[in-house]
């Protein structure tokens, strides 16, 4: 049981390049989330997926797109990376509303030059 996994761990992009961050969970959770973490700002929600087949915007969605490929996988895409997207990205999953406990992946550290 690996929990929540993310790839890659580190990535450096040039402005304008695109990439996809991958997230998978093996806990049979329904809801999945993408956050970004910047110094002094806590974690901010980018996009979420309440269940397989649905996605919706969070607090800071501009410049990102997501895909809920199946119940296990939730990917985050940067179509044209900008230096303002330099951040640490965390994926999280949640089993059901009765517990509200979110489990986080190990994170992806992204630098955009």
Instruction: Note whether 44 binds other proteins by CB under 8 A.
Output: yes
Q: How far is CA 89 from CA 48, 72, 86, 96, in A?
A: 13, 18, 9, 22
Q: Does 42 bind other proteins (CB under 8 A)?
A: yes
Which one of 13-21, 65-73, 74-82, 101-109 is the stretch in contact with other proteins (CB under 8 A)? 101-109
* Gyration radius (Cα) of the chain, Å: 13
Does residue 101 bind other proteins (CB under 8 A)? yes
Cβ neighbours of residue 95 under 8 Å, at least 6 residues apart?
27, 28, 29, 30, 31, 101
Q: Confirm or reject binding of residue 59 to other proteins (CB under 8 A).
A: yes
> Interface residues with other proteins (CB under 8 A)?
31, 33, 40-45, 48-51, 54, 56, 58-59, 90, 94, 97, 100-107
């Amino acid at each position: 049981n690996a929990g929540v996994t993310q790839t890659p761990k580190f990535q450096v992009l040039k402005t304008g390049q695109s990439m996809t961050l991958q997230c998978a969970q093996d806990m049979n959770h329904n809801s999945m989330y993408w956050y970004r973490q910047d110094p002094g700002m806590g974690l901010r929600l980018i996009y979420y997926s309440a269940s397989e087949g649905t996605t919706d915007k969070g607090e800071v969605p501009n410049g990102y797109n997501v895909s809920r490929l199946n119940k296990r996988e939730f990917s985050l895409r940067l179509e044209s990376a900008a230096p303002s997207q330099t951040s640490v990205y965390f994926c999280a999953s949640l089993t059901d509303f009765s517990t509200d406990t979110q489990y986080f992946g190990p994170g992806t550290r992204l630098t955009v030059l």
